[in-house]
A = this chain, B = another copy of it.
């Protein structure tokens, strides 16, 4: 696949980032006997950048986190799984604020230096007592080597933790970037995915850090889909502790290197979300080339990536190109000539000039569709714009998970 990552991204590795400490607790927000609460501490003087869901129905913690972020430098991130604190009205806003206040009181910072995050069931009141009970312990156990535990504690329907590290050699020294994400359903991020946190010990001023995060999110979290449903709680946060003493200035070669590391880590974490999509058995990149505009290319790619008929064909390992072509045709692109469209499955051309390629053999298509990961490439023959979207298949288990789990 063309999204193959360079070796520098260490999958399933959570290297400590100096200046960033984490702790987890089994607070019992909803789950019994598993960790569901995470506190992340950023060293004084560190910087933070964040992107949030563009769903207009955003959860109380998203509202509170945005307010706090605008007011004061970030010191703590407080994340619970099991309850989204969404659709909970004024009580939800109070719960989000009060959970931050618990951290601020014990840690000796301002309440607006704490950002709250929640993921889980929508529409149920967030109880405060699990936070009260666990907070002293959480703060006392903060440590730099707890990324994997944190990645596990933020899971909901995820079947495995998602985390990685990148070490980047800059001109003034080496910096480390570690990140984690969670998400499996209600995935069609429109700004950021469900929840993702990354941290580096580089020193980066806030505006540059935000622009780096924005650039990294576009081809990663904003280019994946499981079911087309944008969550109410999406958030992605990038922290820079600066503790390494390695400063990165806008426009420098170092900034380009750090950007590459951040983007690659985000792409790994985003890809892991799709690979762990609810009920998913396949990971498919839909690439669209030759569009007039990027928005056209993305419209075609997402129409294919969301089509229940394409997704059930993926599940069945049936190279049913008619369903792909039908999705291209209904994507609403002005001036498209369906007779100029070419579709390939990895290296196998299946559709040429809007119809089945005369040289296509069914067994070649089936060989590609039988794989766990492959690419569907659509060439529109209209212009130069491209888009790439990651998606997964639609299986019995997607229905089972979502008919049984109240998210």
Determine whether A36 belongs to the interface, using a CB cutoff of 8 Å to chain B.
no
- In the complex, A76 has a CB within 8 A of chain B: no
- Is there a chain B Cβ closer than 8 Å to A381's Cβ? no
Number of identical monomers bound together in the oligomeric complex: 2
Determine if B312 and A399 form an interchain contact, defined as CB atoms under 8 angstroms apart.
Answer: yes
- Interface size for chain A: under 10, 10 to 19, 20 to 34, or 35 or more residues? 35 or more
Residues of B with C-beta under 8 A to A185: 309
Interface string of A67-103 (1 = CB under 8 A from B): 0000000000000000010111100100000000000
Q: Does A121 lie within 8 Å of B322, measured CB to CB?
A: yes
Pairs A–B under 8 Å by Cβ, sample size 26: A56-B328, A56-B330, A56-B338, A57-B329, A57-B330, A57-B338, A57-B341, A86-B322, A87-B325, A88-B356, A122-B322, A123-B322, A186-B323, A190-B330, A228-B307, A229-B309, A229-B327, A230-B330, A232-B322, A232-B329, A312-B403, A316-B404, A320-B407, A396-B400, A398-B399, A399-B399
> Which A positions have Cβ atoms within 8 angstroms of B?
54-58, 84, 86-89, 92, 121-123, 185-186, 188, 190, 227-232, 306-309, 312-313, 315-316, 318, 320-323, 325-330, 333, 336, 338, 341, 351, 353-356, 394-396, 398-400, 402-404, 406-407
Q: List 7 A-B pairs, minimum CB-CB distance, nearest first.
A: A122-B322, A57-B329, A89-B355, A312-B402, A316-B403, A230-B330, A55-B329
Known: A87-B351, A318-B403; 13 extra A-B contacts, CB below 8 A, are A54-B330, A56-B333, A57-B354, A122-B326, A185-B309, A186-B309, A190-B330, A227-B308, A308-B402, A313-B403, A318-B406, A396-B396, A396-B400
